[in-house]
A and B are shown apart, each in its own frame.
Chain A
Amino acid sequence: MWDYSETVKEHFYNPRNAGPLPEANAIGEVGSISCGDALRLMLKVEPESEKIVDASFQTFGCGSAIASSSALTEMIKGKTLDEALAVSNQDIADFLGGLPPEKMHCSVMGREALQSAVANFRGEEWKDDHEEGELICKCFAIDSVMIEETIRANNLCSVEQVTNYTKAGGGCSSCHEGIEEILARVLAERGETFSPAPPPEKKKPGKLSTLERIRRIEQVIEKARPNLQRDHGDIELVDVDGKTIYVAMKGACSGCQMEALTLGGVQQQMIEALGEIVKLVPVKLKTPPPLVNPS
């Protein structure tokens, strides 16, 4: 049995707003019956104010799917559509007192149902960009799709690199075999053969002058930008202070759930380009909070 929080159990045993909503004027239907979770979210929306006056759900799914659906309806009732759209899957999970990593997709399904219902109300076509993969790293809840995409985007070729970029494999090590299988598959796509041996260490560059160092930093930033711009985001160099490099995350990258992952990837490339350990800090963290004196 999963280790569900009391809130999850409460919402599962006593789901709120369950069943059909005949007067619904916004309906979202998402899920994957092959994976065993599917949700129909029904909203009654006041047309003028776009306020959600009622919400209900029907779910085919496990305890956490039902609890996530119930929580979502409670969270969005009384909100406008735009306010409701600001609810993230993490908000749903937090409302429930957390979900096991294997069950986080239930909260994602809730958020997607909401997006689908809003699009349905506004006469828009909603297309999910959701692709869920098998959960590979249970320590850090990283699935196969994220690992595959990171390998492709950054030309990774070893488990160590995957760990540096995604955290996957940095915990109990039980997923290393799975990561190697993904590496073998993705490397085969680009005509390469995966070797479990770590890649040969690159020759460390000699000491760089300040100007050369800044140029290298700029080159790494420039190399990263097209990928981010494709997702309506961007990154910009702000300042360099010794081993700390300050950057500004812009557009969709700013406040994105994947911001830390993006920064981690760019930081790794920066370390490789400079041949030294550096830290990438988003500009909002430039002024760290004062240290609390424990005494």
Chain B
Amino acid sequence: MSTPNSLLKPIYLDNNATTRCSPEAVAAILPFFTEQFGNPSSMHSFGAKVGHAVKAARASLQKLLGAEYDSEIIYTSGGSEADNTAILSALKANPEKKEIITTTVEHHAVLHLCDQLEKEGYKVHKLKVDGRGRLDLAEYQALLSDKVAVVSVMWANNETGTFFPVEKMAEMAKAAGVLFHTDAVQAVGKIPLDLKNSAIDMLSLSGHKLHGPKGIGALYLRRGVRFRPLLRGGGQERGRRAGTENVPAIVGLGVAAEQALEHMKEENTRVRDLRDRLQNAILSAVPCCFATGDVDNRLPNTLNIAFEYVEGEAILMLLSKQGIAASSGSACTSGSLEPSHVMRAMGIPYTAAHGTIRFSLSRENTVEEIDRVAAAVPGIIAQLRKLSPYWNGDGPVTDPDKAFAPTYA
């Protein structure tokens, strides 16, 4: 007799959206709400103890990033603030430069800011990607000039996991005298980083993507890079980010950074193998589906599959009913009129782009969980395809007389 869905342990495969704060991070955080409540800027012992904790967390982050100095780490409220700070700082520090280079598939924290800057008169170049989500470095090279204030390119795409060659791109920017920022929110904690030996000037990260708490992130700012703060006020963060430090979250982020370093090998072996196991199981069992992005060059935990002729939100609801959490790039999940900008940028057809499901794993996932998901997916897709006007029994409708042609498609 099978276990009812309501009794099955939920399976969380949406770690690119957020991760569970690790128990060790939570344990480290709690005293900073109670006995260690001081303001790190205070001159008394209450502040000093807390100040040491903030410093220790900064050192942990420095180690995770492979940064040369701990002073290169500026705490922020998260990845979005770090992205905004980096780009706006570059523009203010270089007022004579009016151009920005980014890509069509960035996170909205970068894209929407760039859209706004475009309205304010800046020229924004958005690098296109090919069908596998890859950039054309020749196009990038052609755009680099002394008019460009900053390049902002993500390290790894949040939907497909595809890596961009940011270290190479940073070298190219440096040669052109252009500042280089990378939104590394998805990459930090999953792949080894060595910033001191790179040409990257600025890097954004977020605590809750690496089993740390929400509401905390950081901006890596290479020593010597011209900088203008986004928030002005007190002298916190050496005057580079005003506002009393979110000490409990900073402490949690420090612990999360230490643990990410400890689990780095596991992330790139066991977690990657689990991801591959899930991919192979689904692609072999479900017809008319494919993995999107550059599958040979992506985050070890990320799998984005386009299920043709069915819609992503419906898939998510049926997965959720079986206790499985994932996410989708369909228009319906966001309430917008368009599917994910990443899928559209890669030229994925609408009948597939609306049916994309992102499975993003973490070190907390097990083989049993992956096998349960792999077993659940084929039935869910088949169930929805039975309802789909694009599907005919065991395959897509190919007879032109039976083709589905909605009136205002």
Cα distance A84–B247 in the bound complex, in angstroms: 62
Q: Check if A265 is an interface residue, CB within 8 A of chain B.
A: no
Q: Check if A61 is an interface residue, CB within 8 A of chain B.
A: yes
Q: Check if A92 is an interface residue, CB within 8 A of chain B.
A: no
Task: From the candidates A35, A60, A103, name the one contacting B337 in the complex (CB within 8 A).
Answer: A35
Cα distance A63–B313 in the bound complex, in angstroms: 7
**B354 contact set on A, CB distance < 8 A:** 33, 36, 60
Which 8 residue pairs spanning A and B have beta carbons closest together? A102-B335, A62-B332, A62-B313, A58-B389, A31-B406, A36-B354, A40-B389, A36-B331
Tell me, rounded to whole Å, the shortest Cβ–Cβ distance linking B251 to chain A: 32
With CB as the reference atom, state the residue of chain B lying closest to A138: B335
B407 touches A126 (CB 8 A): yes
Tell me, rounded to whole Å, the shortest Cβ–Cβ distance linking B334 to chain A: 9
List which B120-178 residues lie within 8 A (CB) of chain A: none
Known: A1-B320, A35-B338, A37-B332. 5 other contacts (CB 8 A): A29-B405, A30-B408, A33-B409, A60-B389, A61-B332
List which B280-330 residues lie within 8 A (CB) of chain A: 309-314, 316-318, 320-321, 330
Task: From the candidates A19, A62, A132, name the one contacting B386 in the complex (CB within 8 A).
Answer: A19
A29 touches B407 (CB 8 A): yes
Cα distance A37–B311 in the bound complex, in angstroms: 8
**A132 contact set on B, CB distance < 8 A:** 337
Q: Check if A13 is an interface residue, CB within 8 A of chain B.
A: yes
Q: Check if A5 is an interface residue, CB within 8 A of chain B.
A: no
**A36 contact set on B, CB distance < 8 A:** 311, 330-332, 339, 350, 354
Question: Which residue numbers of A lie inside 8 Å of B, CB to CB?
Answer: 1-2, 9, 12-13, 15, 18-19, 29-40, 57-66, 100, 102-103, 112, 116, 126, 128, 130, 132-135
Q: Check if B351 is an interface residue, CB within 8 A of chain A.
A: yes
Q: Check if B387 is an interface residue, CB within 8 A of chain A.
A: yes
Q: Check if B390 is an interface residue, CB within 8 A of chain A.
A: yes
B408 touches A128 (CB 8 A): yes
With CB as the reference atom, state the residue of chain B lying closest to A60: B388
**B407 contact set on A, CB distance < 8 A:** 29-31, 112, 116, 126, 128
A30 touches B311 (CB 8 A): no
Cα distance A9–B331 in the bound complex, in angstroms: 19
B351 touches A18 (CB 8 A): no
Task: Name, among B316, B333, B350, B407, the residue most crowded by chain A CB atoms within 10 Å (CB to CB).
Answer: B407
Cα distance A40–B318 in the bound complex, in angstroms: 22
Q: Check if B336 is an interface residue, CB within 8 A of chain A.
A: yes
Q: Check if B37 is an interface residue, CB within 8 A of chain A.
A: no
Could you tell me the dominant secondary structure of chain B's interface residues? loop
Cα distance A116–B407 in the bound complex, in angstroms: 9
Q: Please list 18 pairs of residues, one from A and one from B, whose beta carbons are closer than 8 Å in the complex, sorted by A's number.
A: A12-B317, A29-B407, A34-B409, A36-B350, A39-B406, A57-B387, A58-B387, A58-B388, A58-B404, A60-B388, A60-B389, A62-B311, A62-B332, A62-B333, A63-B317, A128-B408, A133-B337, A135-B335
Tell me, rounded to whole Å, the shortest Cβ–Cβ distance linking B260 to chain A: 28
Task: Name, among A18, A39, A66, the residue most crowded by chain B CB atoms within 10 Å (CB to CB).
Answer: A66
**B408 contact set on A, CB distance < 8 A:** 30-32, 128, 130
Tell me, rounded to whole Å, the shortest Cβ–Cβ distance linking A282 to chain B: 33
Cα distance A64–B317 in the bound complex, in angstroms: 11
Assess A59 versus B409: contact at CB under 8 Å? Given A13-B321, A35-B338, A102-B335.
Answer: no
Task: From the candidates A29, A57, A63, name the one contacting B406 in the complex (CB within 8 A).
Answer: A29
**B309 contact set on A, CB distance < 8 A:** 60
Task: Name, among B311, B335, B408, B409, the residue most crowded by chain A CB atoms within 10 Å (CB to CB).
Answer: B408
**B310 contact set on A, CB distance < 8 A:** 60
Cα distance A102–B327 in the bound complex, in angstroms: 18
Cα distance A135–B337 in the bound complex, in angstroms: 8
With CB as the reference atom, state the residue of chain A lying closest to B321: A13
Tell me, rounded to whole Å, the shortest Cβ–Cβ distance linking B258 to chain A: 33
Cα distance A65–B333 in the bound complex, in angstroms: 12
**A128 contact set on B, CB distance < 8 A:** 407-408
Cα distance A130–B408 in the bound complex, in angstroms: 9
B406 touches A15 (CB 8 A): no
Tell me, rounded to whole Å, the shortest Cβ–Cβ distance linking B387 to chain A: 5
Tell me, rounded to whole Å, the shortest Cβ–Cβ distance linking B345 to chain A: 15
A31 touches B409 (CB 8 A): yes
**B330 contact set on A, CB distance < 8 A:** 36, 62
A59 touches B389 (CB 8 A): yes
List which B329-362 residues lie within 8 A (CB) of chain A: 330-333, 335-339, 350-351, 354
Tell me, rounded to whole Å, the shortest Cβ–Cβ distance linking A74 to chain B: 15
**A103 contact set on B, CB distance < 8 A:** 332, 335
Cα distance A98–B386 in the bound complex, in angstroms: 26
With CB as the reference atom, state the residue of chain B lying closest to A57: B387
**A133 contact set on B, CB distance < 8 A:** 337
B350 touches A34 (CB 8 A): yes
Tell me, rounded to whole Å, the shortest Cβ–Cβ distance linking A131 to chain B: 8
**B314 contact set on A, CB distance < 8 A:** 12, 61-63, 66
Tell me, rounded to whole Å, the shortest Cβ–Cβ distance linking A101 to chain B: 8
**B386 contact set on A, CB distance < 8 A:** 18-19
Cα distance A100–B404 in the bound complex, in angstroms: 28
**B317 contact set on A, CB distance < 8 A:** 1, 9, 12-13, 63
